[in-house]
Amino acid sequence: MEVYACLHCDLLQEIPALAEGEVARCFRCGWLILQNRPRSFARPLALLLAAVILFALFQSFPLLTFKKAGLEQTAHVATGIRELARQGMMPLAALVAVTLVFVPALYLLSLIYVLVPASLNRKTPGMFFLFRWVRVLAPWQMVEIFLLGVLVSFTKVSAMARVEPGIALYALGMFLFVTAAATAALDPQEIWRLWSKRH
């Protein structure tokens, strides 16, 4: 038996090994503590691979296209960051680059590095340390805030020029849903059970 703490009421309790498909709930409040889902790595891994493709589309294609008086201009993520830097707003440009490019990329790659060997019931160097820090990285993804900013800009600029959404904008919206679904489908206890088998 292993000892687990309920995340809802903090009660410590011993839980025996669960058969496939079984769940364990807190004796005091009924909160779900542990579940043994069959092949629980397959779904989050597939969703994360889809997220990588969407992330690449989001970074590569135009977000918006502006058309006015025969002139046309496209806006990409990279051009926005460069424009902020060109106007002397280097700290803001760096913050956008970190929260919109580097942190999401590191988050996706870290989870894939952990889940690929875990799905094969194998261990790779540093995977458990990396998985621990994935949760620290998660709040620094500001993709949803950026999407909100783009939508606000879209409504304001559309009064002055014709604005067409690009492939990247659709990819960004899908990226948010896919990463949220991957996080919800992943059972962290499965990773820690694999870690406990190492000893």
Q: Are 77 and 172 in contact (CB under 8 A)?
A: no
Interatomic CA distance for residues 116 and 124, integer angstroms: 10
- Burial (0-12, 13-18, 19+ Cβ within 10 Å), 142: middle
Give 178's pLDDT tier (boundaries 50, 70, 90): very high
If one compares 144 and 96, the residue with the highest pLDDT of the two is 96
| Coarse DSSP helix, strand, coil percentages of the chain, rounded to the nearest 5 percent | 60, 15, 25
pLDDT at site 67: 77
- The pTM for the full model equals 0.72
Domain boundaries, the chain: 1-36, 39-196
If one compares 5 and 20, the residue with the highest pLDDT of the two is 5
pLDDT over 90, % of the chain: 9
- pLDDT tens readout for residues 101-124: 888 898 899 899 988 888 887 878
Instruction: List all residues 6 or more positions away from 30 whose beta carbon is below 8 Å from its beta carbon.
Output: none
Interatomic CA distance for residues 74 and 11, integer angstroms: 55
Interatomic CA distance for residues 12 and 147, integer angstroms: 41
Average pLDDT over residues 62-68: 78
pLDDT at site 150: 67
If one compares 158 and 59, the residue with the highest pLDDT of the two is 59
pLDDT at site 49: 93
Which residues are bridge partners to 13 per DSSP?
4
Average pLDDT over residues 127-154: 74
pLDDT at site 50: 94
pLDDT at site 173: 86
198 pLDDT higher than 60: no
- pLDDT tens readout for residues 8-62: 888 888 888 777 778 888 888 888 877 776 667 888 999 999 999 999 998 888 8
